[in-house]
Structure 1
């Protein structure tokens, strides 16, 4: 599974802060939760 966030075309300024705060650790935790559900 590949989990990708591409913020290059993000135009909703209200989401900028959340996008900037998304870390590799956040993405890893999300993948781990998905794996627990479907793995």
Structure 2
């Protein structure tokens, strides 16, 4: 189960990083759909 924990940690980290980038308004066409905060 140690491998599963590592996979989950990596996934959560990548999701957090993506969310962080979206909140910072990275100029990307796809990010507009996920950042209603900037509208």
Tell me if TM exceeds 0.5. no
Q: Who wins on radius of gyration, i.e. which is larger? A: 2
- Greater relative contact order (CA < 8 Å, ≥ 6 in sequence): 1
- Point out the structure with the larger helix share: 2
Normalised by the length of structure 1, the TM-score is 0.41
